[in-house]
Amino acid sequence: MDDHRTPSQPDPAENPALQPILIHDKSLPGKIGEGSEARDVLDQQILVLGAQLVNQLHILLKTIRIHERTNAAVNQVVDATVTTVKTLARDNPVVIRLQNDFLYLGDAHLKMGPQQVAIFLEFIDSLNARGIAAISFSAEMRETDLREFAYQFISVDPATCTFDDLKRQLKEGEIHGIDIEEATSLMVRVGQKNKQLKNLAKQLYVKAVGAVGEVLQSIREGRAPNFRRAKRVVQSIVDVILQDEPTLLGLTTLRCYDEYTHNHSVNVSLLSVALGNRAGYPREALVDLGLAALFHDLGKASIPQDILNKSEEFTDEDWAKLRIHATLGVINLIRLRGLTNLPGRMAAAAFEHHLNYDLSGYPTLSMPWEVSLTGRILMVADCYDSMTSSRVYRRDPIAPNKVLTMMFAKSGILYDPVLLKLFVNCVGIIPIGCLTLLDSHELAVVIRPSANRQTATRPYVKLISDRSGRPIEGPEVDLAEKDADGRFKRSVVRLVDNTEYRFDTGRYFA
Ligand SMILES: [Fe+2]
Ligand SMILES: [Fe+2]
């Protein structure tokens, strides 16, 4: 998302974010035990207030762009924001932190509801544009401090001013109780590799492939499948994605051609959970989504293996047989529903995943239909993985960056445009798994998107050949890294079509 989206005119008087809020007894967290139910409720309320604070800051920055500092609309939003800060900030300041394109309140991930996606993204863009990783507000902050801060924030032109310029202006403006932290120190933290988590991710991937295989086999043999194992794996997958999304998404580039359906199901599940997370799904809903995605092609269990494994081009008749897997998936799930507590969205996902955003896909519908959010997420994840994979009935996969370009050409037609934009944040503009040639003459594989949207074309890469073309098990480098003169140390010259050279970048994630 760009910083130049058309802003909607805020109307503070009508905005619920500015209505009076519940004031907590600030000593409550000290009185309620960790892990208790009451503490969970309190934590949730604090997160709601955190999201409210982001809303209020967003409105404040917009309002102050239009009005004078002392305008009544500005006063109203300033008062509301100060009340939220004083509610949240106790002995320590309240910190809104940006990490890896997510907003945090302290250490807690701030989830955005569907209505807040645009607000959060715009706020994240405005922080990124100014190189800000965190803003902290202490309880001592006064209305005048916040008003002045907002004014300085919007007066800084991100194109010409640096983080230090803004910091200096804040100091000169004698603004108390508000501080900003620069983004670079955080990027280093994000770049640190967590070996343990990486190993866990690999184990989970293998377990998930096993769980899909087990369920599909049960259906083929007419036995009632057990989804409990799959659910446990998906729960762990969601936990890992919430901690380190790129590590798990990197695994989607692993290709195991014999088990296309199993691998594809796991990849679609990982990509869907990552996208659902960006779309603001809470943890439990992410587990349901991941499970629905894992079994979106369940109907294929009822398609003859000789069609699924056919190596030559499909005939029209083959396609017709294959297409009914979307309906067979629902039939399979409905047949099994009495045996398990599967949510209805699993059946919906199986039915909707080939419908397309404009309903031009299959099954053909004879009645009006509104595709569920889960279905729209699946359409994006399913197509991306299908096109980037090598599969039995279309041997040549397409390079990830080309797939994204193709998908964007159909944005709003085949794919939900908002979800597609969020999806690029998951895989990166130069997506994970791409093979790149650097200006240093080294070859490198993209392993995770840039931590900062301003440097979206500078992902983290792993070097795989040196300047003279010798293969190396090179280090991971951040392409946004600069030398002492402020020049980028390495840049992508061009993307190399790894599929053209039948070069499997997946092994760099193994
Ligand atoms: Fe499918
Ligand atoms: Fe699929």
The CATH number covering residue 299 comes to 1.10.3210.10
Ligand 2 center–CA 300 separation, angstroms: 9
Ligand 1 center–CA 101 separation, angstroms: 30
Ligand 1 center–CA 364 separation, angstroms: 15
**Can you tell me the distance from the alpha carbon of 424 to that of 427, in angstroms, rounded to the nearest whole number?**
5
Nearest residue to 375 via CA among 342, 354, 356, 353: 353
Phi, psi at 315, each rounded to 5°: -85, 170
Collapsed DSSP state (helix, strand, coil) of residue 224: coil
Q: Is residue 111 part of a domain?
A: yes
Report the DSSP beta bridge partners of residue 98.
Answer: 103
Q: Is residue 1 part of a domain?
A: no
Domain span at 502: 435-509
Collapsed DSSP state (helix, strand, coil) of residue 477: strand
Phi, psi at 388, each rounded to 5°: -85, -10
**Can you tell me the distance from the alpha carbon of 420 to that of 410, in angstroms, rounded to the nearest whole number?**
10
Q: Which two tokens stand for residue 172?
A: 């000169």
Asked if residues 499 and 394 have their Cβ atoms less than 8 Å apart, the reply is no
**Does residue 265 sit in the same domain as residue 142?**
no
pLDDT, position 391? 58
Torsion sign across C-alpha atoms 135, 137, 143, 145? negative
Range list of β-strands (E), 234-358: none
Q: Is residue 7 part of a domain?
A: no
Ligand 2 center–CA 326 separation, angstroms: 9
pLDDT, position 257? 46
pLDDT, position 82? 94
Strands 108-109 and 102-105, by their bridges, are antiparallel
Q: Is residue 4 part of a domain?
A: no
Ligand 1 center–CA 327 separation, angstroms: 10
Ligand 1 center–CA 249 separation, angstroms: 20
First to last CA, the chain: 31
**Does residue 61 sit in the same domain as residue 197?**
no
Ligand 2 center–CA 287 separation, angstroms: 18
Nearest residue to 288 via CA among 362, 327, 237: 237
Q: Which ligand is nearest to the CA of 266?
A: 2
Ligand 2 center–CA 263 separation, angstroms: 10
**Can you tell me the distance from the alpha carbon of 254 to that of 323, in angstroms, rounded to the nearest whole number?**
26
Enumerate residues 6+ apart whose C-beta is below 8 A from 41. Answer: none
Collapsed DSSP state (helix, strand, coil) of residue 177: coil
Last residue of a domain, which of 426, 450, 476?
426
**Does residue 401 sit in the same domain as residue 498?**
no
Ligand 2 center–CA 451 separation, angstroms: 29
**Can you tell me the distance from the alpha carbon of 205 to that of 248, in angstroms, rounded to the nearest whole number?**
8
Q: Which ligand is nearest to the CA of 268?
A: 2
**Can you tell me the distance from the alpha carbon of 139 to that of 442, in angstroms, rounded to the nearest whole number?**
51
**Does residue 399 sit in the same domain as residue 252?**
yes
Q: Which ligand is nearest to the CA of 264?
A: 2
Report the DSSP beta bridge partners of residue 460.
Answer: 448, 478
Phi, psi at 196, each rounded to 5°: -60, -45
**Can you tell me the distance from the alpha carbon of 386 to that of 193, in angstroms, rounded to the nearest whole number?**
29
Q: Which ligand is nearest to the CA of 260?
A: 2
Q: Which ligand is nearest to the CA of 384?
A: 2
pLDDT, position 3? 36
**Does residue 154 sit in the same domain as residue 273?**
no
Phi, psi at 90, each rounded to 5°: -105, -110
Ligand 2 center–CA 382 separation, angstroms: 5
Ligand 1 center–CA 429 separation, angstroms: 25
pLDDT, position 54? 94
**Can you tell me the distance from the alpha carbon of 267 to that of 262, in angstroms, rounded to the nearest whole number?**
9
Ligand 2 center–CA 386 separation, angstroms: 7
CA angle at residue 219 from 213 to 222, to 5 degrees? Answer: 140
- What interhelical angle do 117-129 and 37-66 show, nearest 10? 70
Q: Which ligand is nearest to the CA of 386?
A: 2
Report the DSSP beta bridge partners of residue 132.
Answer: 182
Last residue of a domain, which of 379, 400, 426?
426
**Can you tell me the distance from the alpha carbon of 245 to that of 254, in angstroms, rounded to the nearest whole number?**
16
Q: Which two tokens stand for residue 247?
A: 């590590």
**Does residue 181 sit in the same domain as residue 319?**
no
Please tell me whether the peptide bond between 246 and the residue prior to it is cis, using omega within 30 degrees of 0: no
Q: Is residue 5 part of a domain?
A: no
Asked if residues 224 and 218 have their Cβ atoms less than 8 Å apart, the reply is yes
- Tell me 496's DSSP state: E
Nearest residue to 475 via CA among 488, 460, 489, 486: 460
Ligand 2 center–CA 458 separation, angstroms: 30
83-115 per-residue burial string, b: 16 or more CB within 10 A, e: under 16: ebbbbbbeeebbbbbbbbbbbbbbeebbbbeee
Look at the chain and report how many structural domains it folds into: 3
Ligand 2 center–CA 37 separation, angstroms: 39
Phi, psi at 456, each rounded to 5°: -60, -25
- pLDDT (tens digit, 0 to 9) for every residue of the chain, 510 residues total? 333 333 344 444 455 555 544 444 455 555 556 556 666 677 778 888 999 999 999 999 999 988 887 888 999 999 999 999 998 887 789 999 887 567 888 877 787 665 666 688 788 888 888 888 899 999 999 999 999 999 999 988 887 888 888 899 888 888 999 999 887 543 333 334 456 777 788 788 888 988 998 888 888 888 877 788 899 999 999 988 888 787 788 777 765 445 677 888 999 999 999 999 989 888 889 999 999 999 999 888 888 878 877 777 788 888 888 888 888 888 877 776 544 556 677 888 889 999 999 999 999 888 888 899 999 999 999 999 988 876 544 556 677 888 888 999 999 999 999 999 999 888 887 888 888 888 888 888 888 888 776 777 789 998 888 887 777 777 889 998 988 888 889 988 777 765 545 455 665 655
Q: Is residue 3 part of a domain?
A: no
**Does residue 267 sit in the same domain as residue 316?**
yes
Ligand 2 center–CA 223 separation, angstroms: 23
**Does residue 270 sit in the same domain as residue 404?**
yes
**Does residue 130 sit in the same domain as residue 200?**
no
